[in-house]
Structure 1
Amino acid sequence: MSDSRLMMIERTSPISRIPYVLIRAKKKSVSIYVKSDQAVTVRAPLRTSLAFIDDCVDERSAWIISQRKRLSDKISLPKITEKDKPMIKKALMAKARHYLSDYNGKQPNKIFIRYGVSRWGSCSGLGNISLNGYLYYLPDSLFEYVLWHELTHLLHMNHSPLFWQSLSERVPHPKSYRKALAVYLIPKK
């Protein structure tokens, strides 16, 4: 978006005293976001009054506070530099090979290490598995869960009851691992 249609200013709402960054953009409604660093961003149409925007922030103050609380309970992972990526890839691939060495089920076509910001792993219809490089920083039990989760997708490309039943043969109580993963914050790029 060109600079002529995008303006940013820092403000504080008058009643709830919540500081936020206001981004004026060509859009139709006011949106409020709480980022992983707990900063509040408000995106608003170009012609919306500051009083209306402040009112929106004040009206959503309880939600903003609850989001900040939720984020403060999370563990932020360190950013991975380009220099670190080869070492991390080597370590994660070795770990994956170790777990796959005693696995007699359907093998993945290829395993990739990626550095996304929202998923811990994925499985493509071609049988390729992608693992997030940030798994390097997590306990082995969570790495193992993500790997078995994606391997189970080679058999069931969905999250049906049959998928969870198959996964629980390798990983008891798999949904508890999903909750454990939710504690970790992957850095935004």
Structure 2
Amino acid sequence: MEMFKDGSRIKYEVIYRSVKNPRIELRFDSIRLILPRDFRGKPEDLLISKRDWIERKLHEHEEMLRIASDFELHGRGEDEFRSLVMGFLGHYSGELGVTYGRVRFRRMRSRWGSCSSRGNLSFNTLISYLPDELVEYVVLHELAHMLEMNHSRRFWGILEYHIPDWRDRRNILRYYWVRLHLEGLTD
């Protein structure tokens, strides 16, 4: 399906799921409208009612694409990448006084990493393209979840103590995700 925006067409798809509230997701080339299964209106009406928000977000998205195109991807071999991650894990697990379980490297669709309640860590193989300081941030972020399994003030305080510029690094990660998409490396 398509919706008109300033004389141009924007592709959108409608998906019905078991959700409470409608949600609009901006994709790289389209809009995804997630609706509750019992939604009783026209999807187009909902999009029209959110038109200003959608246009603002699309503009922000275009700006992100422009900025991200200048970001440099770092090509690392698998051994170099794993060694880098394991080095940061060794350092920060000691600093935090935590012991982690299994470490997995796998392709993830929307996350840089994850930490299970059992202390097992997973890292997106796409972080192999990031600069060292961003890999460091991802590793510390996941290890900090071993002390705080949420994103509370205490959690962010742990990051602040060890990486004072964590906010900048987190923001830059958004641009790298877009950069990876531009290279066809994300789904």
Residue in 2 that maps onto 1:7: none
Change (3 A) 1:90 1:41: same
Change (3 A) 1:138 1:54: same
User: Where does the alignment leave 5 or more consecutive residues of structure 1 unmatched?
Assistant: 1-9, 78-83
Residue in 2 that maps onto 1:97: 86
Kept in 1: contact 2:144–2:158 (CA 8 A): yes
Deviation at 1:89, TM superposition (A): 4.3
One-letter amino acid of the structure 2 residue matched with residue 149 of structure 1:
H
**Higher mean displacement: 145-154 or 171-180:** 171-180
SS in structure 1 of the partner of residue 121 of structure 2: strand
Deviation at 1:168, TM superposition (A): 2.2
Separation in 2, partners of 1:35, 1:95: 33
| TM-score, with structure 2 as normaliser | 0.67
Separation in 1, partners of 2:17, 2:90: 54
Residue in 1 that maps onto 2:28: 37
Deviation at 1:171, TM superposition (A): 0.9
Residue in 1 that maps onto 2:137: 145
Separation in 2, partners of 1:56, 1:150: 37
Residue in 1 that maps onto 2:52: 62
1:19 alignment partner, one of 7, 10, 34: 10
User: Where does the alignment leave 5 or more consecutive residues of structure 2 unmatched?
Assistant: none
Kept in 2: contact 1:14–1:54 (CA 8 A): no
SS in structure 1 of the partner of residue 57 of structure 2: helix
Q: Percent identity?
A: 26
| TM-score, with structure 1 as normaliser | 0.66
The structure that is helix-richer by fraction is 2
Tell me how large the CA RMSD over aligned residues is: 3.9
Deviation at 1:142, TM superposition (A): 0.9
Question: Once the two structures are superposed, what CA deviation does each residue of 1:20-45 show, in whole Å capped at 9, x if it has no partner?
Answer: 24558799xxx674543232345789
Separation in 2, partners of 1:162, 1:43: 33
Change (3 A) 1:12 1:164: closer
Change (3 A) 1:135 1:59: same
**Which has the larger Rg?**
1
Deviation at 1:66, TM superposition (A): 1.6
Separation in 1, partners of 2:59, 2:134: 24
Question: Once the two structures are superposed, what CA deviation does each residue of 1:62-84 show, in whole Å capped at 9, x if it has no partner?
Answer: 2222222222214389xxxxxx9
Deviation at 1:148, TM superposition (A): 0.9
Change (3 A) 1:146 1:24: closer
Aligned pairs (5 A) from 1:110-149: 110-149=102-141
